[in-house]
Amino acid sequence: MPLRPVSGRSGGLTRMLHDARRHGLLFHDRRRRHLAVLAALIAVSAFVFVAVRPRTVRVVADGREVEIQTRQSSDEAVLRQSGVDIAEGDRVLSAETPGARVLMVDRARDVRIIADGQTYELRTAADTIEDALDEVDIVLQQRDSVMQDGVFVSENAPIEPPIRLASSARRQLSQDGATVEIEVRRAVPFVIVEGPQETVSTSSRQTIAQALREAGVVVGPGDVVVPDLQAPLELDTRIEVLHAHPVTIALPDGHRVVYTLARTVREVLDQEGIVLPAGAFVDPSFETPITSEMSVRVVQLGSTNDVAYEYIESSTVYESDPSLPPGQTRTVQGRDGVRVRRYDVTYVDGVEVGRELVEDRLDPEPVDTVIYYPTRTGRNESAPDVSSGAVTRTLRVYATAYNPASAGRSPDDPNYGVTASGAIVTYGIVAVDPEIIPLGTRMFVPGYGYAVAGDTGGAVKGYIIDLGFPDGVEIDWASQWVDIYIIE
């Protein structure tokens, strides 16, 4: 009997063969697509590698400069390639220059701020002290001061070690890992007592002397200050300033000017060790109260023909001379005069009963001593032109003022008014800290004029200068921050 195909099983095999053939084709199609995509990626990478040319990048960081060739497209990748790590707070500054791209890393600084009994530690990219104080919400009040690493600076000063005056104009970066310490000194109230007058002022300066100078109180020769000038300024300090009186004592063989706190003529003579010879008298009398600018005359009497010499003190006058350069003076020495009076004296039992003036003359006549000082400039002058090349830089400093009397020496001291450079204190002489401004540096101070660094001082430290004024001239300068011009 012939065999017959079973239609059901035959149809199932047919479908199985068809499905197997179809799945195999799909597998081969998927593999071909994957290979095509991989080939395309390799082709694109090869094209980019060939098409993107290497570029020159100069990386400036941590005091060194590296120039590399790179195909990296991002600044971060370039920095990693050059071995430079970026920490929190650091800034990356970029610029395109001919032939190369420049990446400069501005490192954030570790800063310690001490203020109001608190210490703040922060890492900051702030450029100035004021910006750093803002980050911790510290507000400076009037006459508060700021110390950076122990140096008195402006709140607008950059956060870095002090910039010394030198030929290079580049900023000196702080050492790696160094912490810049900023101290805020708050101004405290204090009382100044001058005779019956009491004045309340404020200052953040460290000593009594600095606080008085900031308040415009001039301490002259013979003056007494309690507490001592070098004592620290504290909250509500009561400072008593006793101003000495200048008194001229005329003697038969000369005269002297003394600064005294004595109450009477007798006390002045005792203080100076002056003993009257026999037959002499003093005018005015011993019990006369001392007043400012007072003259005391010691008169020596003769016998029957008495000659009295009255020494007439010559005055010292100050006159300006426009031909004098800043910082120099010229003195035309005068002389004292003598008034000669000759008397016919009548004595009875050794007691004078009468005298008659028979001669009265001046021999010689007094001639004033004239001290010429430079004509004050700069009050209405504009600042020198920076573009002219004469000005090498500007510098922000705290400017105070002084004269020979405020230097602390007695007028009869041979070094009275003599500066560290040997010149006499006058217009154009400026006391400086030689670590900041070398002696001999010429400058222009707005509101004061052209000057030269010719003196130093114990209180002139850091960014402080002291402007010179001659004796006999009113100091009309108020202590203030000012931008000065350093001249070639």
- Residue-wise burial string across 377-400, b where 16 or more C-beta atoms lie within 10 A, e elsewhere: bbeeeeeeeeeeeebbeebebbbb
CB 244 within 8 A of CB 199: no
pLDDT at 177: 55
pLDDT in 10s for each residue of the chain, 488 residues? 333 333 333 344 334 434 544 444 444 455 566 566 555 555 544 444 445 578 888 889 877 888 888 888 788 888 888 888 887 778 788 888 887 889 888 788 889 999 989 999 999 888 899 999 999 999 998 889 999 998 989 889 998 754 443 333 333 444 445 899 999 999 999 999 998 999 999 999 989 999 999 999 999 898 999 999 999 999 999 999 999 999 999 887 778 899 999 999 999 999 989 888 776 788 999 899 999 889 998 877 666 777 887 878 776 666 767 777 766 778 788 888 888 888 877 643 345 767 888 888 888 888 887 767 676 655 556 677 766 668 889 999 999 999 998 877 888 888 888 898 888 899 999 999 999 999 999 999 999 988 999 999 988 999 999 999 988 888 999 999 999 999 97
Tell me, what's the pLDDT at 166?
Answer: 36
Give the sign of the dihedral formed by CA 414, CA 420, CA 422, CA 424: negative
At 169 the pLDDT is 35
How confident is the model at residue 36, as a pLDDT?
63
One-letter identity of residue 222: G
E-state strands within 322-445: 330-332, 337-348, 351-362, 369-374, 391-402, 429-431, 442-445
**Which pairing describes strands 55-61 and 64-70: parallel, antiparallel, or unpaired?**
antiparallel
- DSSP three-state, residue 23: helix
Question: Hey, what's the torsion of the CAs at 124, 127, 128, 132, to 10 degrees?
Answer: -20
What is the pLDDT, as a whole number, of residue 359?
A: 87
Q: Judge contact between 203 and 132, C-beta under 8 A.
A: no
Confidence at residue 41, expressed as pLDDT on a 0 to 100 scale: 54
Which residue has 């007592």 as its token pair? 193
The pLDDT value given to residue 30: 55
DSSP-derived secondary structure letter, 39: H
Rounded to 5°, angle at Cα 62 from 59 and 65 = 35
Q: What is the DSSP letter of 81?
A: H
Neighbour count for residue 407 (Cβ, 10 Å) = 20
Q: Provide the pLDDT for residue 138.
A: 94
Domains contained in the chain, CATH given: 27-107 (3.10.20), 109-185 (3.10.20.30), 188-242 (3.10.20.30), 247-258+274-372 (2.20.230.10), 376-487 (2.40.40.10)
pLDDT score at 32: 62
